[in-house]
Structure 1
């Protein structure tokens, strides 16, 4: 009667159940580590579930182009809000120059980490040059090589505004109709993330 009892079979069932649980746990751990990598690779290769949203408002320049690729020779070690005028600096250009200065002022205590500049392919009118001397004393001015600019930008003849990092790399580009608040938010975000400049 003692041999008909179930204790031996119960003791044999416990290691089998324990092994099964261990295998399931190991499988879950492997899936937890390898699964996200496989999912991320699939998302990248097959372009599914890729978020459409972005946190910046300008056009991201991620191809390694520098300020020199625009036809501007400058040695600025801070972040720069650069306005380019491939033709004369007319109304749109002047609005961007004004906006660049206002953005730098709006940075508050971070204003020393950035500068504003104008690169023009043609000489400025005497009136506008005098106004810049009087009202924009910190504005840096550079000549713009229109041929280099046209090769880089695809011959865009409109003035544009660029955010340039302290190494001279182009980061973001904006059209003349950019909203100041959007530009300020982008620059603040870059300064927050950056250890340079």
Structure 2
């Protein structure tokens, strides 16, 4: 093989090294090979829900820095409250970044770290046992039906906390 032929082979190999990933990506997109069909969020996105300040609930003080897990406690309240308290504990070191709010239910003791409120009127977007995740500004991000798996809600909250890091100085609280 001559010197010129070796140089051409090197050039073609170099072009192949850079072109092969592009070709492979194009084939994957066009033929839908190796692209996951799963979704990230388990809940329903709720862009049309009003912000929390507009919800018809008795007065609740919002922190403004925490994500909030809000749950309707109109069915099987003690079990629901315990379920979401356990989810909150499962967050580990991220637990201080999430607050819990129980709306409705009996007038029993609130669990540690939980706020209580009552509906002043029932909104049209409400359903019994529903759960919402609100961002620090009070906007509903996700909602879940009463039969949602606790693990699914935990996965979504952990993903939200991971993709929205704590603001500077937030670790001091």
Normalising by structure 2, we get a TM-score of 0.65
Q: Residue 13 of structure 2 aligns with which residue?
A: 25
Q: Residue 23 of structure 2 aligns with which residue?
A: 35
Q: Residue 94 of structure 2 aligns with which residue?
A: 110
SS in 1 for 2:37: coil
RMSD of Structure 2 on Structure 1 (CA): 3.7
SS in 1 for 2:6: helix
Judging changes above 3 Å, is the alpha-carbon distance between structure 1 residues 160 and 71 closer, same or farther for their aligned structure 2 residues? farther
Q: Structure 2: any 5+ residue segments left out of the alignment?
A: 168-173
8 Å CA contact 1:67–1:169 kept in 2: the answer is: yes
Deviation, 1:32, is: 3.7
Answer 1 or 2: which has greater helix percent: 1
Deviation, 1:160, is: 1.1
d(CA) in 2 for partners of 1:115 and 1:69? 14
d(CA) in 1 for partners of 2:97 and 2:50? 18
- Mapping of 1:65-84 within 5 angstroms? 68=51, 72=55, 75=62, 76-84=64-72
Q: Is 1:173 aligned with 2:123?
A: no
8 Å CA contact 1:72–1:145 kept in 2: the answer is: no
Q: Residue 117 of structure 2 aligns with which residue?
A: 141
Normalising by structure 1, we get a TM-score of 0.59
SS in 1 for 2:71: strand
8 Å CA contact 1:80–1:117 kept in 2: the answer is: yes
d(CA) in 2 for partners of 1:55 and 1:183? 11
d(CA) in 2 for partners of 1:109 and 1:169? 24
8 Å CA contact 2:44–2:143 kept in 1: the answer is: yes
Q: Residue 162 of structure 1 aligns with which residue?
A: 132
d(CA) in 2 for partners of 1:70 and 1:176? 23
Deviation, 1:39, is: 4.5
Deviation, 1:115, is: 0.6
8 Å CA contact 1:71–1:146 kept in 2: the answer is: no
d(CA) in 2 for partners of 1:135 and 1:119? 11
Q: For this pair of structures, how many residues does the alignment match?
A: 160
SS in 2 for 1:166: coil
Q: Is 1:59 aligned with 2:35?
A: no
Q: Which has the larger radius of gyration?
A: 1
